[in-house]
Amino acid sequence: GESVGLHLPTLSVQEGDNSIINCAYSNSASDYFIWYKQESGKGPQFIIDIRSNMDKRQGQRVTVLLNKTVKHLSLQIAATQPGDSAVYFCAETSGGGADGLTFGKGTHLIIQP
Amino acid sequence: DARVTQTPRHKVTEMGQEVTMRCQPILGHNTVFWYRQTMMQGLELLAYFRNRAPLDDSGMPKDRFSAEMPDATLATLKIQPSEPRDSAVYFCASGLGHWNTEAFFGQGTRLTVV
């Protein structure tokens, strides 16, 4: 069936460097995408979202890029900090944000001091 | 500080027992989701409600799982009878069900069925 998947299960970066987490999706009907951050023992926490009519959206230290041609989503985190260490999930839905999300498997981001 | 509240945080039960997990969505949110997280399957949508009406429960094993919203402040997920393969973290999330209103997740209920 259609799914959302991640290329790398673990990503290790130096503190202060930029990190890029990638995600591939296969549902061409997806129209809304969200990145979540999950710390150990906690629920997923919203980071940033993007609609399918956009290809880039920026937040505070984070940028999401969407390439609908190749069904690819990425999360860029600038100047990583120790608090950025977590598992990052991409999620998609085809209901305009109103329906349940399909999550990727997650990427574990490790920030090296 | 508005948040989704789930109880219990941890539950250990014997196979065959009934388990009920509870969720208090954020006041004013009209959409409530139940997700299950395991190492093997990741985060999976089980069911969701809008304005207390079930919209989709296709992700939920129908023979043993049931989800309800007795009122706007309470959502429940029940497993009867429980099995070891149900061991997982169950998350409840609530939202407003339209663009740019992300689902807010609770802390989860970690269920262990022995």
- Over the stretch B52-88, which tens digit does the pLDDT of each residue have? 999 888 889 889 999 999 999 999 999 999 999 999 9
Q: Quick one: pLDDT band at residue B101, thresholds 50, 70, 90? A: low
Separation of alpha carbons B92 and B47, rounded Å? 10
Task: For chain A, say whether B58 makes contact (Cβ under 8 Å).
Answer: no
3-class state of residue B56 by DSSP? strand
Helix ranges, chain B (H): none
Q: Quick one: pLDDT band at residue A98, thresholds 50, 70, 90? A: low
Q: Quick one: pLDDT band at residue A2, thresholds 50, 70, 90? A: very low
Residue of higher predicted confidence among B109 and A1? B109
3-class state of residue A82 by DSSP? helix
Q: Give the per-residue pLDDT at B107.
A: 96
The pLDDT tens digits of the residues spanning A42-66 come to 999 999 999 999 999 999 999 999 9
Amino acid in the structure at residue A109: L
**Could you tell me how many residues make up chain B?**
114
What does DSSP say about strands B109-113 and B10-13: parallel, antiparallel, or unpaired? parallel
Among B47, B49, B37, B43, CA closest to B78:
B47
Using CB atoms, which residue from B45, B59, B98 is nearest to A97?
B98
Is the pLDDT reported for residue A83 higher than 60? yes
Task: For chain B, say whether A35 makes contact (Cβ under 8 Å).
Answer: no
What tokens were used for A1? Answer: 């069936």
Q: Give the per-residue pLDDT at B99.
A: 54
Cα A90 → chain centroid? 4
Chain A stretch 73-92, residues whose beta carbon is closer than 8 A to a beta carbon of chain B? 89, 91
Amino acid in the structure at residue B32: V
Task: For chain A, say whether B25 makes contact (Cβ under 8 Å).
Answer: no
A-chain residues within 8 Å CB-CB of B4? 43
What does DSSP say about strands B5-7 and A107-112: parallel, antiparallel, or unpaired? unpaired
Is the CB of A100 less than 8 angstroms away from the CB of B50? Answer: no
The pLDDT tens digits of the residues spanning B5-51 come to 999 999 999 999 999 999 999 999 999 999 999 988 889 999 999 99
B-chain residues within 8 Å CB-CB of A43? 4, 91, 93, 105-108
Q: Give the per-residue pLDDT at A4.
A: 54
The number of beta carbons lying within 10 Å of the beta carbon of residue A94 is 16
Is the pLDDT reported for residue A3 higher than 50? no
The stretch B87-109 carries a mean pLDDT of 85
Q: Quick one: pLDDT band at residue B96, thresholds 50, 70, 90? A: confident
The sign of the dihedral angle between the CA atoms of A39, A81, A74, A31 is positive
